[in-house]
Structure formats: C-alpha cells, structure tokens
Amino acid sequence: MTVSVLRDHRKADYEAGKLAKRIRRQVGEAIADFDMIEEGDKIMVCLSGGKDSHALLDVLLALQPKAPLRFDLVAVNLDQKQPGFPAEALPQYLKSRGVEFRIVEQDTYSVVKRVVPEGKTMCSLCSRLRRGALYRVAEEIGATKIALGHHRDDILATLFLNLFHGGQLKAMPAKLRSDVGKHIVIRPLAYVAEDDLLAYAEQRAFPIIPCNLCGTQENLQRKVVGEMLAEWERNNPGRIESIMRAISEVRPSHLLDRKLFDFTRL
C-alpha cells in the first residue's frame, strides 16, 4: 500500500469517526432536551429497513452501554407483504448484532393497493395501518417508549406541508403521547440531517430495504417540499439551521393565534 493510499484511508476513517460522533452527540442532545428516555425504559425501535431506522437503532445501541441510566431495546419490523420483500434480511442482521427483535407480519400492502385509487398518494393510509399495528405490538411486548426514525429534514418538511396545504403552523414533535394516551412516541434523530444519515448508512453498510409502495410515487408533495428546502440551502447555506432554530424559539405574542395568547388583556 502506497503512502498516498494509506493517507486516504486514514482520512476516510477520520471523517467517518467525526460523522459518527456528530450523530451520536445530536441524538444525545435530543434525548436530553426532550427527556425521551427514563430509567428502566423498554424502547421499541421501529425498524423499517430504511437508512433512518437503521441509523436510529445503531446509534441507540452505541449509546446504551454509556448512558447514565438503564434502558432496553427491542427492534420491531412490520412485514407489510410487499412483493419482493427480503424477509430474512433483517432477522439475519439483527441476530448478528445481538439485538432482541420481533417481526410482525400484516398484509397492509394489499389493503392500500385495493383502497387507494391508482395515482393517488398512498402514504396516509399506509401510515395509519402501520401505526395501528405498531401500537398493538408495543402493548404486547410492554414497551414504554416507541422510537421512530424521523430526522430533522422530515420535521421541517412536515412544517411546510402543514403551512402550505393544511393551514396550520405545526411540525412533527420530537416526543408525543398517542391520541389514545397509551403510548409515548420519541424521535431521537430530530436534530440529525438526512445527508448525514445517508453517509452514515453507507459507512455502516446497513442492509437497506427500499419501500416499493410509496417510493414509486414521484409527485409526492413531501418530495416537492424536500427539493424546495434543498434548493434554499444550496442558495443560502445555513437557512435550514435558521428554520430549525425558529421552531424552537416560538413567540406566541407575535403570531395571530388567540388560543395561545390572550390579546384582550393587553
């Protein structure tokens, strides 16, 4: 091996180490800021097979032995019976990592394809069916928290989707209680950029399983908003971070929601 090749390898290892440290730091900050994990928690990590949920599990496994409190992890994958789904890929990977896991089989794919007209967005119905199944499993295994792999860019895309199409100033919470009140959902990747997760997934060589259901829908509004945000960042570096800070520094008195601020008492 030549000196230049050895230097390149060392540089690549150094950059990989920096990336891993940054992601773990950001996850640790999000967990602390929103009090996501408590002593004795049993955390159900929802593992879809995509880069985000793989990174989530990987980082939580790395943080687990160093954490100041004890918590357990259980990886749960919902096999939605999509054609070509490699059923053995995740079990083999999780066994190799020594992770407790459960594979849940539920044919939501056929339901979505039957109910949603051709050309219409499938994500909403698919998400509701998937959420219901995961909530049920969380109860069955006694999970105290449900961890999802949504990242910073997902949160910001949701903000603009609600702003443009829902008429609401609402993003995606880092921590929430489910509508029925039984489950606490956490998003430890809330501060992590999607580009970092892409690079991390490549470095860690996760067994990625693409979604063949929604991934084929090219005109999804979420994709359009994502491209808009990416263009903003290219033309104005730092804008994404500025927007992220803005939703963490809300001033109700400077908005127009009378339910949040009592303007009549001024």
pLDDT tens for 238-253 read 999 999 999 999 999 9
Q: Mapped to the 3 state alphabet, what secondary structure does the chain carry?
A: CCHHHHHHHHHHHHHHHHHHHHHHHHHHHHHHHCCCCCCCEEEEEECCCCHHHHHHHHHHHHHHHHCCCCEEEEEEEEECCCCCCCCCHHHHHHHHHCCCEEEEECCHHHHHHHHCCCCCCCHHHHHHHHHHHHHHHHHHHCCCEEECCCCHHHHHHHHHHHHHHHCCCCCCCCEEECCCCCCEEECCCCCCCHHHHHHHHHHHCCCCCCCCCHHHCCCCHHHHHHHHHHHHHHHCCCHHHHHHHHCCCCCHHHCCCCCCCCHHHC
pLDDT at 209: 86
pLDDT at 218: 45
Residues of the chain with pLDDT > 90, as a percent, come to 68
213 or 6, which is more confident?
213
What is the average pLDDT score of the chain? 87
For residue 131, what pLDDT band results from cuts at 50, 70 and 90? confident
pLDDT at 115: 63
In the chain, what are the domains? 6-265 (3.40.50.620)
Please give the average per-residue pLDDT across 11-18, as a whole number: 71
pLDDT at 236: 96
Range picked from 120-129, 173-182, 215-224, 234-243 for highest mean pLDDT: 234-243
